[in-house]
Amino acid sequence: MEFIDPALLAYCETHTSEEDALLKKITRETQAKVLMPRMLSGHLQGKMLELFTKMLNPQTILEIGTYTGYSGICLARGLKPGGKLITLDINDELETMVRGFFKESGLASQIDYRLGNAREIIPSLEGPFDMVFIDADKFYYAEYYDLVIDKVSKGGIILADNVLWSGKILIEEGKKIDKDTQALLDFNQKVQNDPRVENILLPIRDGVLMARKR
């Protein structure tokens, strides 16, 4: 998932505001107790999400894919007073851990953590959302996008994680494309062709696509 030289990455992290004690705890416990800890947003991406959110200062955020709560806490830190983060995840096995982290963050009253299938929950949400962060099943990225785009406020931001997919989006001639890679190729092109947004694909960690609704 990392495309930058390890020494340069270490330099970037050294010159990024340090993770606080809670985020470090989430990282440790995720690595120790949860399968696929590489799914964690981590230091650089977490701080990027936090700063983006503090700059936008949104009233409402939708996060699709909570995992262990690291990114949700980073996002919630930039909400307006009284603002709300709705975060969706299908894995109820992590619920106790995640709710504990949200409580420790002091932001639990602003975080609406819902368990279930995002494709079924999103149509019931009213919006508007000032920011959306997509970081769930890659196969459904395009569907998530279609479900949220009309619920995003003008000038609102959609962020999508893992859009470089460990470099798999660079197709080698004669190599078979798996369904998740094809889904991300289709999603990236879909956003690129959508006149309703202006967008940039950032080579941060595993790739973050940012689209601003016109």
Domains of the chain: 6-213 (3.40.50.150)
Give the pLDDT band (50/70/90) at residue 39.
confident
Give the pLDDT band (50/70/90) at residue 2.
low
Quote the pTM value: 0.94
Task: For residue 49, give both structure tokens.
Answer: 């999400």
pLDDT digits (tens, 9 = 90+) for 41-83: 889 999 999 999 999 999 999 999 999 999 999 999 999 999 9
> Residue 204: is its pLDDT beyond 90?
no
The predicted pLDDT at position 110 comes to: 97
Residue 54 φ then ψ, to 5°: -65, -35
Q: What is the spatial distance between Cα 127 and Cα 104, in angstroms, rounded to a whole number? A: 27
